[in-house]
Amino acid sequence: MKFTLSWLKDHLETEASLEAILEALTDLGLEVEEVSDPAATLGAFRIARVIEAAPHPDADRLRLCRVEVRDGPDAPPEEVQVVCGAPNARTGMLGVFAPVGTHVPGTGVDLKPGVIRGQESNGMLCSERELMLSDDHEGIIDLPQDAPLGVRYIDYAGLNDPMIYIKITPNRPDALGVRGVARDLAARGLGRLKPLDIAPVPGSFDSPIGVSIDPALKDKGCPLFAGRVIRGVKNGPSPDWLQKRLRAIGLRPISALVDITNFFTFDLNRPLHVFDADKVQGGLRIHPAQGGEELLALDEKTYALAPGQMVISDDTGPESIAGIMGGEHSGCTEDTVNVFLESAFWDPITIAATGRALKINSDARYRFERGVDPEFTLPGLELATRMVLDICGGEASGVVMDGAVPDHARSYRFDPADVGRIVGMDIPEAEQRATLDALGFRLEGDQAHPPSWRPDILGSADLVEEIARIASLSRLQGAPLPRVAPGVPRPILTPLQKREGAARRQLAALGYNECVTYSFIDQASAALFGGGDDSVMLQNPISSEMSHMRPDLLPGLLQAAARNQARGAKDLALFEVGPAFSGGEPGEQAIHATGLLVGAAAGRDPHGSLRRADLYDAKADAEAVLAAIGAPEKLQITRDVPGWFHPGRSGRIGLGPKLGLAVFGELHPKVLRAMDVKGPAVAFSVWLENPPQPRKRSLARPALQASDLQPVERDFAFVLDAQVEAAAVVNAAAGADKALIDGVRVFDEFTGEAASAQMGEGRKSLAITVRLQPRQRTLTEAEIEAVSDKIVAKVQKATGGVLRG
């Protein structure tokens, strides 16, 4: 919402400074976005006289001007020499002069004393473009001979009027008119709201155009439609004051009739429409569109109307999209002599729906969908009639109307204690009542009746807000919020929140860099990771790169890896802890902790050669996360992994066959190629919700079982089929004597071609260390031998492995 200071003062009698007004506006909730003050930008430009304009001795196109300048109307004259290139510079003319030191907005240059082709030049005679008043650069400003020397040009030209741009929150349609803004300022105490004189204009004949509202719209869509014919008008440019106002707020003056309707839109938040009455056939009918009607609107676009959208039609068809935009056919032109002036009240919801469907953003729609003052429909029509008659002449008919002002009467309990109880501000009751009164509320006992222009007031809480707002929330003093309970605060995080934190800190400690990637990705990437169907598709994505909710965190991390590789980074350890989406319903999301390793796990350095990250790095890190979040220790590794992993080099960590806790492994080369990542790469995901919560948390640890007796370690090497898994060997060995065997550890694997050559095709050797922990007494050699035999037998039975000779 834009207006100028002088426009505001049409409604507000005030001595307040611009500064004070701006501060109050922002504080009242009418936040000032921008101010342009011509006194600040153009205050140095004054009216001056060209004493003599002589040819420049060394340049044909330049003139040497002796200029009489005054630093104010009563200041002594001074003579200044200026070199000027304007063709219209001539002896005796009056123009606009900028002294040395002035910032010229049109050129962006600060004027300095200069020498042009050997002649001194101390200042500038300016064109309108240099003052950014218009695009005119044909010549310098040429003022009438009675223009007062030394006066600031902005004062002389009536341009000294600051423009104020405020942001209006959607609840304040009343502030979309200058008068509403003035009312707030008056309530704050910054002046007095001037009375609005509404004298009805009597009609001298009956309107030849009648109006009727379709019964389907009378209850809701269009409760009231009024208008009248004004005949014999002369349309043309609107008067200077009106043009200046519209220009100041960024509107282009068009013609008197159009400018008048625009003026009422911004002055009183009363959008109007004028039809060329000679182009209207028969009466005007307000009705829902049947669907399929087309209308060329004033923005020169053709709109096809959908069933139910409100239109105003004459006998030949639609002439206006009701409350949103008029039609080109019945619009006013320079030649218009008879007009029909419309003022109506439209249902905000219907207007909003139609405007959105047709994608029309007009000032009328903007106001009607927020809610204009229904009571002002007819007064607005009278005021506008008066202005049309004043500016364009002519003669008005009587008012024709259908419908009535909709009932907006309501009242809410006003309790002066509420402001203290809710806001915590101490405001005397008299001040509270005065505030409501100034805003237009009617107070009756303990009931407050909101004014017709405040559709947003819908309860007692709104009264509190108005009182506190006008009093100024800047007066509010903080008051301590007591603790919930005295003493040391209780813990507040849920077990899952603690898991997220633990996983995150553990991964960072392992050397991973945390990323936060977008929750939406492109369809192709989503599809590679088991997602990308319509249930997780956005209806209105911002780009095709962000069209589907991610099914997994890996695609985002892989894209991040590809970007980093493109920047020259080779070795990457990236992770993210965040949501992945299995469907499009609320709650179909799970928290993953996902890590990605690309490149070397150990870089090339003096201490060893480069080692690529492999699946065992991913596995160890997944296990570290599981340990950090308190997952059970005994977990099973299986090979049922999703398709984006290398089928032979990946595994799933689960608690039994049903409950998966994590996957890890090398990523499928096809997936890496599709994601543009130079591999190989390994990754893991831990599903943080899945590990069961410990049933009961006991803080006391079980007693330490530490034997004083020396443990004994024995090594075994087995020859096995190459695809026998180490876990089978370890489990078999551990089961040989559960009381005595304290641990089994794989310490070597000999596999590949060399192993085949030694031990036969498809064979490998696996070496384990078994740790025996005696409890009662030291083991004898014979006892150790006996256990060893059992271990060998167990492993052989379980895996077919034989002791390597």
Closest approach, Cβ 512 to another protein, in A, equals 5
Looking at residues 579 to 608 of the shown chain, list those that interact with another protein (rule: CB under 8 A).
579, 581, 584-589, 602-603, 605-607
Find the binder of another protein among 179, 183, 504, 550 (CB under 8 A): 504
The token duo for 504 is 């995150």
The token duo for 514 is 């945390």
Residue span 159-178 as binding mask against another protein, x where in contact by CB under 8 A, dash where not: ----------xxxx------
CB closer to another protein out of 445 and 478: 478
Find the binder of another protein among 9, 10, 27, 527 (CB under 8 A): 27
Find the binder of another protein among 489, 656, 702, 805 (CB under 8 A): 489
Looking at residues 547 to 576 of the shown chain, list those that interact with another protein (rule: CB under 8 A).
549, 557, 560, 563-564, 567, 569, 572-575
Residues 172 and 289: their CA atoms lie apart, in Å, by 30
Residues 6 or more apart whose CB falls under 8 angstroms from that of 653 comprise: 622, 623, 626, 635, 636, 637, 660, 661, 662, 663, 664
Closest CA relative to residue 406, chosen from 222, 529, 546, 558: 222
Closest approach, Cβ 426 to another protein, in A, equals 10
Closest approach, Cβ 231 to another protein, in A, equals 38
Find the binder of another protein among 109, 196, 404, 461 (CB under 8 A): 461
- Cβ atoms of 794 and 732 within 8 Å: the answer is yes
437 is in an annotated binding site: no
Q: Which stretch binds another protein (CB under 8 A): 331-339, 460-468, 652-660, 778-786?
A: 460-468
CB closer to another protein out of 109 and 538: 538
- Cβ atoms of 14 and 187 within 8 Å: the answer is no
Contact status: 689 vs another protein (CB under 8 A)? no
Please, is 434 exposed, middle or buried when counting C-beta atoms within 10 Å of its C-beta (0-12, 13-18, 19+)? middle
- Cβ atoms of 730 and 746 within 8 Å: the answer is yes
Looking at residues 307 to 336 of the shown chain, list those that interact with another protein (rule: CB under 8 A).
none
Find the binder of another protein among 145, 215, 428, 540 (CB under 8 A): 540
Residues 522 and 519: their CA atoms lie apart, in Å, by 10
- Cβ atoms of 283 and 212 within 8 Å: the answer is yes
- Cβ atoms of 627 and 616 within 8 Å: the answer is no
197 is in an annotated binding site: no
Residues 14 and 708: their CA atoms lie apart, in Å, by 95
Contact status: 32 vs another protein (CB under 8 A)? no
Residue 54 per-residue DSSP state: E
Closest approach, Cβ 168 to another protein, in A, equals 9
Residue span 240-269 as binding mask against another protein, x where in contact by CB under 8 A, dash where not: ------------------------------
Closest CA relative to residue 495, chosen from 698, 655, 691: 691
465 is in an annotated binding site: yes
- Cβ atoms of 644 and 529 within 8 Å: the answer is yes
Largest CA distance in the chain: 130
Find the binder of another protein among 22, 464, 688, 759 (CB under 8 A): 464
Residue span 604-643 as binding mask against another protein, x where in contact by CB under 8 A, dash where not: -xxx------------------------------------
- Which residues, listed in sequence order, are joined to residue 750 by a DSSP beta bridge? 765
CB closer to another protein out of 238 and 564: 564
CB closer to another protein out of 21 and 719: 21
Find the binder of another protein among 5, 12, 21, 28 (CB under 8 A): 28
Contact status: 805 vs another protein (CB under 8 A)? no
Looking at residues 335 to 364 of the shown chain, list those that interact with another protein (rule: CB under 8 A).
348-349, 352-353, 356
Contact status: 469 vs another protein (CB under 8 A)? yes
Contact status: 107 vs another protein (CB under 8 A)? no
Q: From the centroid of its chain, how far is CA 433? A: 38
Residues 289 and 302: their CA atoms lie apart, in Å, by 15
15 is in an annotated binding site: no
Closest approach, Cβ 167 to another protein, in A, equals 9
Instruction: Give the number of other Cβ atoms within 10 Å of residue 600's Cβ.
Output: 16
Find the binder of another protein among 404, 473, 620, 709 (CB under 8 A): 473
CB closer to another protein out of 343 and 523: 523
Burial 552-562 (b: 16+ CB within 10 A, else e): bbbbbbbbbbb
Concatenated DSSP letters of 307-368: TT-EEEEETTEEEEETTTEEBSTT---TT---EEEEEEE--HHHHHHHHHHHT---HHHHHH
The residue whose two tokens read 């031990």 is: 759
Residues in binding contact with another protein, number by CB under 8 A:
102
Contact status: 304 vs another protein (CB under 8 A)? no
Instruction: Give the number of other Cβ atoms within 10 Å of residue 296's Cβ.
Output: 14
CB closer to another protein out of 484 and 739: 484
Find the binder of another protein among 142, 395, 431, 514 (CB under 8 A): 514
Closest approach, Cβ 212 to another protein, in A, equals 26
Contact status: 655 vs another protein (CB under 8 A)? no
Closest approach, Cβ 360 to another protein, in A, equals 13
Please, is 486 exposed, middle or buried when counting C-beta atoms within 10 Å of its C-beta (0-12, 13-18, 19+)? exposed
Residues 658 and 796: their CA atoms lie apart, in Å, by 30
- Cβ atoms of 61 and 222 within 8 Å: the answer is no
CB closer to another protein out of 598 and 792: 598
Closest approach, Cβ 784 to another protein, in A, equals 38
Q: Which stretch binds another protein (CB under 8 A): 280-288, 296-304, 473-481, 764-772?
A: 473-481
Residue span 419-458 as binding mask against another protein, x where in contact by CB under 8 A, dash where not: --xxxxx---------------------------------
CA distances to 615, 637, 719, 755, 759 from 748, rounded to whole Å, are 17, 20, 12, 13, 16
Looking at residues 189 to 248 of the shown chain, list those that interact with another protein (rule: CB under 8 A).
none
Find the binder of another protein among 493, 620, 727, 793 (CB under 8 A): 493
CB closer to another protein out of 607 and 701: 607
Contact status: 727 vs another protein (CB under 8 A)? no
Find the binder of another protein among 241, 518, 616, 747 (CB under 8 A): 518
Concatenated DSSP letters of 696-739: S---SPPPP---SSPPEEEEEEEEEETTS-HHHHHHHHHTT-TT
Residues 724 and 797: their CA atoms lie apart, in Å, by 13
Contact status: 417 vs another protein (CB under 8 A)? no
Point out the annotated binding site for Mg(2+).
456, 462, 465-466
